[in-house]
Amino acid sequence: MNSFLPMNKKEMQDRGWDIVDFVYVTGDSYVDHPSFGAAIITRVLENKGFRVAVLSQPDWNGTADFIQFGKPRLGFFVTSGNIDSMVAHYTAAKRIRHDDAYTAGGIAGKRPDRAVIVYSNIIKRLYPDSPVIIGGLEASLRRFAHYDYWDDKIRPSILIDAKADLLSFGMGENQTIEIAKRLDSGESINEMHDILGTCYACPTSRTPFAGVECPSYENVLSSKKEYAKSCRIQQDEQDHIRGKLIKQKHGRTMIVQNPPMPPLTQKELDWVYSLPYMRAYHPSYEKLGGVPGIREVEFSITHNRGCFGACNFCSIAFHQGRYVTSRSKKSILIEAEKLTHMPNFKGYIHDIGGPTANFRKPSCAFQENHGLCKGKKCLAPKPCPNLEADHSEYLDILRSVRNINGIKKVFIRSGIRYDYLLKDKDDTFFRELVENHVSGQLKVAPEHCSACVLDRMGKPHIEAYIDFSKKYFKYTGQANKEQYLVPYLMSSHPGSTLADAIELALFLKKNHIRPEQVQDFYPTPGTISTCMFYTGLDPYTMQEVYVARTEHDKALQRALLQYYNPKNRHLVEEALKRAGRYDLIGYDSKCLVRPINRNNQQHSNTRYLKNNSKGNKGKRRR
């Protein structure tokens, strides 16, 4: 009979265990669902015969939680959870969040800032000779010296601050298996310097000869150009076929990153998703109302990994990689059929997707043997001539799933790359997407309309979105449905000036789009866009890039995207005057805002509130 892994001493003893092989420490509440990295890694270890305990959100103000299982036989795995702990705690404006989707009851503050560092240091103090392996998104994206937005400074590799023995970057299954087996065989963690997909620290005197060295921690501290060079090297070598070992000096210590672990094969992916997940949060959280983060994914299926879209502001390329792998149709159908037997299932599968829902295969045949092209993108600014766009396999899976007894509807809620969709000469998938897989609104991410900003983002130009939207509404009309597009938009991305924000505001006005929320650019570790934000340089061209840095400059750009909101009128008028666009202040239909009139401002606010139900709306995490 399936059951949750033990998450306290009593549950460990109930299994008849007096010791565990590994303690897996996570900053999230314990959710045993394959959308949660902790669930996958612990189930993988369990399947390989290891006894694993889950230490969820331990109290870092004391030691009782950390010692309850005793010293594990082989070691500790440590992660902050599904997202970076700093992103979990703070908005893009560095304001404290008041809830946490990955904590039972949505309660904020159940994990510390920089959770990986805090947890790892406590463990090393309590059990100095026990191996500590850090991983997950927080560790993966901070594996080199990196700009930290919250401290507004360069921090060293997280390996240094965490005092951990090894860092596993990327998705981690095969690294974890190899580490566990070698520890079990008696090998010292200090000798495991050859495992793909891992980083380790060593004295500079023991630096490997092979590979490429990026500018040192000291150099990137003193020079933004050196930081930009370092970022480019790290991004360019993030390829499991052509990627080289990377070295970065930190004083007398060398951080060494081995080449990436190859992505899981289809057979391996099928195995991972066949493991006996409970597909639920631990029952101890029921009294708190459960864990909010499971709601969106409880009845969703992941069919792929990797993303060759590789937007510059997204961490997926640096974490999962750009090479796309996918599960077999059989594996997906088995999981879909399992969902129909779950007690809360109402007949609706919320998503069959992944980082990008409509990717099933690598973007071209060339990369199978040579890797993805260095310094180039498959889709931006225009699709590569070698791009192979084919939705037939994905469409076949969707058709088969929606024909399973008990399934009423299959939605696609993870991102659709519309530029890739447009390159498919066969519109069958497009038509069936509109007819069968949209829940009233389809969310897509044009992000901006200015070509120069989109180039900094690594996104396609706005013409692709315009072509897509025309077809979308054409097919929606033919299907006799009332459906909408919800475009995600980003303000203040590096390269976006006030003039660019005004261009976007005019585009929104022309197309009758009224975004309910706007995403401010959030400089998270490990992305090309964050490098631009910190250095003011494009690491691939070394050209200077304008960056809106102050809260007020960001507020001006954000207000322009919501120019129609009376609360923004002062900011919009200021922005337009700064940009010399007095022609857009007035009573003409082309204008974005009317001159401020204190006598009618209250009336305008009332009218706005009454009419605010019109237009496109969309929400996303800020």
pLDDT at 600 over 70: no
Of 283-297, 334-348, 591-605, least confident by mean pLDDT is 591-605
Instruction: Report helix, strand or coil for 572.
Output: helix
Predicted confidence band of residue 518 (pLDDT cuts 50, 70, 90):
confident
| Residue 517 pLDDT | 80
Instruction: Report helix, strand or coil for 253.
Output: strand
CA distance 274 to 264: 14
Distance linking the first and last C-alpha atoms of the chain: 41
pLDDT at 316 over 60: yes
How many Cα atoms are found within 13 Å in the side-chain-facing hemisphere of 124? 18
- Cα-trace Rg, the chain: 25
| Residue 617 pLDDT | 41
pLDDT at 607 over 70: no
Predicted confidence band of residue 444 (pLDDT cuts 50, 70, 90):
very high
pLDDT at 605 over 70: no
Instruction: Report helix, strand or coil for 620.
Output: coil
CA distance 446 to 416: 11
Instruction: Report helix, strand or coil for 51.
Output: coil
Predicted TM-score (pTM) of this structure:
0.93
Phi then psi dihedrals of residue 168, to 5 deg: -100, 120
| Residue 598 pLDDT | 53
| Residue 415 pLDDT | 86
| Residue 599 pLDDT | 54
Beta-strand runs (E) in 207-252 = 212-213, 246-250
Predicted confidence band of residue 370 (pLDDT cuts 50, 70, 90):
very high
Of 52-61, 501-510, 514-523, least confident by mean pLDDT is 514-523
Q: pLDDT per residue over 542-564, tens digit each?
A: 999 999 999 999 999 999 999 99
CA distance 21 to 44: 13
CA distance 338 to 345: 10
pLDDT at 113 over 50: yes
Angle CA(72)–CA(75)–CA(80) in degrees, nearest 5? 110
From residue 125, how far is each of 121, 201, 419, 468 by CA, in Å? 6, 19, 51, 56
- In sequence order, the 6+-apart residues with CB closer than 8 A to the CB of 466 are none
pLDDT at 1 over 70: no
Instruction: Report helix, strand or coil for 162.
Output: helix
CA distance 237 to 317: 11
The β-bridge relationship of strands 441-447 and 484-491 is parallel
Phi then psi dihedrals of residue 496, to 5 deg: -90, 115
CA distance 171 to 178: 14
Predicted confidence band of residue 620 (pLDDT cuts 50, 70, 90):
very low
